[in-house]
Amino acid sequence: MTSATPPGAHLPEHGDFLWRNPEPKKSYDVVIVGGGGHGLATAHYLAKNHGITNVAVLEKGWLAGGNMARNTTLIRSNYLWDESAAIYEHSLKLWEGLEDDLGYPILFSQRGVLNLAHTEQDVRDSVRRVEANKLNGVDAEWLTPDEVAKICPIVNVSGDIRYPVQGATYQPRAGIAKHDWVAWGFARKADEAGIDLIQDCEVTGFVTDGDTVTGVCTTRGDIACGTVALCAAGHTSVLLDMLGVPAPLSSHPLQALVSELLEPVHPTIVMSNQVHVYVSQAHKGELVMGAGVDSYNGYGQRGAFHIIERQMAAAVELFPVFARAHLLRTWAGIVDTTPDASPIVGHTPYRNVYVNSGWGTGGFKATPGIGWCLADTVAHGRPHEYVAPFALDRFVTGALVDEHGAAAVAH
Amino acid sequence: MQLIECPWCGPREETEFHYGGQAHIAYPETPSELTDTEWAQYIFFRANPKGLFAERWSHSGGCRRWFNAVRDTRTYTFLATYRSGEPQPEVQS
């Protein structure tokens, strides 16, 4: 060694941190449980739209390290029912202006989504959904197999596969975004507004007084609160169990995977309910794929390998060009599914506790939309009109919002 | 892939089985007297514990019979399997 320069000394200094790492205060007007996309977006819109900044976001791990770091980043609003179209389209419109709002790059790329139809029933359901979308002001078209091939030339539209492509719905405004950057953008803005983002802070219980929650017990001490918003996705049942509130949620592993980096080959997003896979290509070049949830309840953030095998088989069936691609990495998140494949948002039996849950496999696309609506709900103490149809009591009244079709592959 | 112990057939691969959700949910004894809230509880509301869970499985690719299992939802480990109608065994995670 001829130099006393330590290894790494030539590397640049660490960049500015995007948010502080504050100690929790004794009390907040609003405590958001869960520092993922939904929690951070809710914090941002509480500050931006309502001027409410005495807010803490409590995260048991690190910010946006759960499903926000594990999803396949698909953004679309082509859902069947009016209630779903309203909130998902609201969300999509926010996505379209989000980079300006956050002052942070999110690589939102509106490359369109094809939802393939492979059977006569698929075709009928898809055409119906296109017409429903149009009536709700959601961009949607029905495409023939030849038109599918023009938009995405690598899809096998020939007749010699097990389930030939009979056509597809197409939403041109659908897209993908860089999920981590979305979370960081929301976190940075919320932090700038004075909101405390508190990591490594797991909620272990609640202090209640009648039908009011007066405080949240955490691994970093007790915190008094005015209002509580639960944004814990797959762990919502764990929190509701602490409050003794039953909800029809099931937590399941949902797996995804990426290939190694490839040249751009896939210009859009393709989803297939029947053959059971969805695929896009990330900006960097990985093919990003997902499929359905593992069937059993699970909190393990991992799933069974035969599920991966099945979705790879589906991908190669639809995209013969993928046969030589290599699987690089697989992982899983924990998604909270509901009986009607729609979220559960709104009041709980506790007057100052709001729940935001049940987004199942579709939570990422809803991030700005639900953040906006949940902030409004918390600020005004009543459900925003776009979340009102998704109240917990719909399982008693029977007013379900059945989105098993449009929720697509994953349920 | 893990092996699941079918109470009739013995250990078989996971792909031979289908999941049936929470076990020991009895049909209401007096269905005509149930309120809407009670019906909702029976039809839609299920436990979703992080930990031990008694649940139904079907050996659909084998003997095609239903049975029950106690499984840890954190680790996915099967701690016991037992025939329908038998009481839930005491197990530790």
- Whether residue A173 is predicted with pLDDT greater than 80 in this model: the reply is yes
* Nearest chain B Cα distance for residue A298, angstroms: 5
Q: How does DSSP assign A160-187, residue by residue?
A: -SSS---EEEEETT-EE--HHHHHHHHH
Q: What count of Cα atoms within 13 Å lies in the side-chain half-sphere of residue A135?
A: 11
Nearest-Cα residue of chain B relative to residue A304: B1
What is the overall mean pLDDT for chain A? Answer: 95
Give the pLDDT of residue A303.
93
Helix (H, G, I), strand (E, B) or coil at A114: strand
- Whether residue A292 is predicted with pLDDT greater than 70 in this model: the reply is yes
Q: How far apart are the first and last CA of chain B?
A: 20
A164 touches chain B (CB under 8 A): no
Flag if A304 and B1 touch (Cβ within 8 Å).
yes
Q: What 8-state DSSP symbol labels residue B15?
A: G
Give the pLDDT of residue B84.
95
- Residues 6 or more apart whose CB falls under 8 angstroms from that of A158 comprise A164
Instruction: Look up residue A371 and give its two tokens.
Output: 């953040």
Q: Which of A235, A250, A397 sits opposite B46 (nearest CB)?
A: A250
Give the pLDDT of residue A2.
57
List chain A residues with CB under 8 Å of B48: 237, 249-251, 297, 336
CA A211 to mean position of chain CA atoms: 30
d(CA A356, CA A375) in angstroms, rounded, equals 11
Flag if A397 and B75 touch (Cβ within 8 Å).
no
ipTM of the complex: 0.96
d(CA A136, CA B88) in angstroms, rounded, equals 50
- Whether residue A126 is predicted with pLDDT greater than 90 in this model: the reply is yes
Backbone angles phi, psi at A137, to 5 degrees: 75, 20
Give the pLDDT of residue A349.
97
Flag if A296 and B1 touch (Cβ within 8 Å).
no
Tell me which amino acid residue A285 is: G
Flag if B18 and A248 touch (Cβ within 8 Å).
no
Burial A273-285 (b: 16+ CB within 10 A, else e): bbbbbbbbbbeee
* Nearest chain A Cα distance for residue B93, angstroms: 14
A295 touches chain B (CB under 8 A): yes
- Residues 6 or more apart whose CB falls under 8 angstroms from that of A123 comprise A117, A166, A167
Give the pLDDT of residue B1.
75
- Whether residue B60 is predicted with pLDDT greater than 50 in this model: the reply is yes
- Whether residue A411 is predicted with pLDDT greater than 60 in this model: the reply is no
d(CA A289, CA A273) in angstroms, rounded, equals 13
A62 touches chain B (CB under 8 A): no
* Spatial CA neighbour of A252 closest among A289, A310, A288, A300: A300
Size of chain B, expressed as the number of residues it contains: 93
Q: What 8-state DSSP symbol labels residue A404?
A: T
Size of chain A, expressed as the number of residues it contains: 411
* Spatial CA neighbour of A61 closest among A305, A333, A326: A333
- Whether residue A271 is predicted with pLDDT greater than 60 in this model: the reply is yes
List chain A residues with CB under 8 Å of B1: 304-306
Give the pLDDT of residue A408.
58
Nearest-Cα residue of chain B relative to residue A241: B49
Instruction: Look up residue B70 and give its two tokens.
Output: 């106690």
Q: Which of B1, B18, B73 sits opposite A298 (nearest CB)?
A: B73
Q: Kind of pairing, strands B78-83 and B66-72? A: antiparallel
Q: What 8-state DSSP symbol labels residue A23?
A: P
- Whether residue A87 is predicted with pLDDT greater than 70 in this model: the reply is yes
Q: Kind of pairing, strands A27-33 and A55-58? A: parallel
* Nearest chain A Cα distance for residue B17, angstroms: 10
- Whether residue A204 is predicted with pLDDT greater than 80 in this model: the reply is yes
Render pLDDT for A339-388 as a digit per residue (tens, 0 to 9): 999 999 999 999 999 999 999 998 999 999 999 999 999 999 999 999 99
- Whether residue A1 is predicted with pLDDT greater than 70 in this model: the reply is no
List chain A residues with CB under 8 Å of B53: 297
Residue ranges in A4-153 assigned as alpha helix (H): 37-50, 82-102, 120-135, 145-151
| pTM reported for the whole predicted model | 0.96
d(CA A181, CA A196) in angstroms, rounded, equals 19
Burial B22-42 (b: 16+ CB within 10 A, else e): bbeeeeeeeeeeeeeeeebbe
- Percent of chain A surpassing pLDDT 70: 98
Q: How confident is the model at residue A276 (pLDDT cuts 50, 70, 90)?
A: confident
- Whether residue A15 is predicted with pLDDT greater than 90 in this model: the reply is no
Render pLDDT for A304-339 as a digit per residue (tens, 0 to 9): 999 999 989 999 999 999 999 999 999 999 999 999
List chain A residues with CB under 8 Å of B45: 246-248, 395
- Whether residue A410 is predicted with pLDDT greater than 60 in this model: the reply is no
